[in-house]
Amino acid sequence: MTEHSGGGGVDWNAEAATFDEEPDHGLRDPEVRRAWARRLREWLPERASDVLDLGCGTGSLSLLAAEQGHRVTGVDLSPAMVERARAKLAGRDAAFLVGDAAQPPVGEQRFDVVLVRHVLWALPDPGRVLRRWWGLLRPGGRLVLVEGVWGAFGISAEVVSGLAEPLGGCVRVERLSEDSLLWGKDVDDERYAVVVGGD
Ligand SMILES: C[S@@+](CC[C@H](N)C(=O)[O-])C[C@H]1O[C@@H](n2cnc3c(N)ncnc32)[C@H](O)[C@@H]1O
């Protein structure tokens, strides 16, 4: 995650071609990839589940979820990102849609997991967005929100967990800054996951 890789005003279509060059984006380094796979295995249900990856980018987390046996639907506003995600997951049980993560174009379909990494903080009215995402879950489903604060950008774990509390599910915060394998380097800013529900 660079300070330019999230937030309003970014031309995501232009970013798509080089997006995977960041270690935590492309997960090309086997150690970084393993670190994310380990976390995902903890965050996602053990049984094969329907996962909605919102703001999926080039599909790196979607691919890990698919490799763990889950069926994935990805949504991203950027056609260039979606094109890369489709190529990355070709032949897998996965579908990718161009659309707004704040209002995912999934009709009446419901999911076991809504997975979002580095997207929520840039959306207007994150509280309303979380309520909408919560409504996309089947009973017993969970939100997995991976976010952070990068200099002037981002959203803190305190704010996200405060917005998630009224949803009614158990809210668990997992700190990720000290796990340098996830980022491919040491970081000293705030990085975390908030998992809501799934209990
Ligand atoms: C920092 S990238 C994260 C990509 C992916 N979640 C990951 O962790 O590798 C942010 C992504 O969110 C997408 N995005 C930004 N605003 C969006 C919105 N309103 N709806 C859907 N996607 C959005 C961008 O196109 C970009 O692919």
Ligand 1 mutation target, pool 4, 119, 183, most atoms within 8 A of CB: 119
Does the CB atom of residue 81 touch ligand 1 within 6 A? yes
Distance between Cα 100 and ligand 1 center (Å): 9
Instruction: Find out whether 77 and 124 touch, Cβ atoms under 8 Å.
Output: no
The CATH class for the domain spanning 30-197 reads: alpha beta
Residue range 115-173, pLDDT digits in tens: 999 999 999 999 999 999 999 999 999 999 999 999 889 999 999 999 999 999 999 99
This prediction has a pTM of 0.96
44, 92, 132, 193, 195 from 65: Cα distances, Å: 8, 11, 22, 16, 16
Does the CB atom of residue 16 touch ligand 1 within 6 A? no
The DSSP result for 40-90, as a single string, is HHHHS-SS--EEEEET-TTSHHHHHHHHTT-EEEEEES-HHHHHHHHHHTT
Pick the atom of ligand 1 nearest to 60's CA. 9
- Give the largest CA-CA distance in the chain: 42
pLDDT in the model for residue 8: 61
Count CB neighbours of 125 within 10 A: 11
pLDDT tens track, the chain, 199 positions: 443 334 567 899 999 999 999 999 999 999 999 999 999 999 999 999 999 999 999 999 999 999 999 999 999 999 999 999 999 999 999 999 999 999 999 999 999 999 999 999 999 999 999 999 999 999 999 999 999 999 889 999 999 999 999 999 999 999 999 999 999 999 999 999 999 998 7
Does the CB atom of residue 57 touch ligand 1 within 6 A? yes
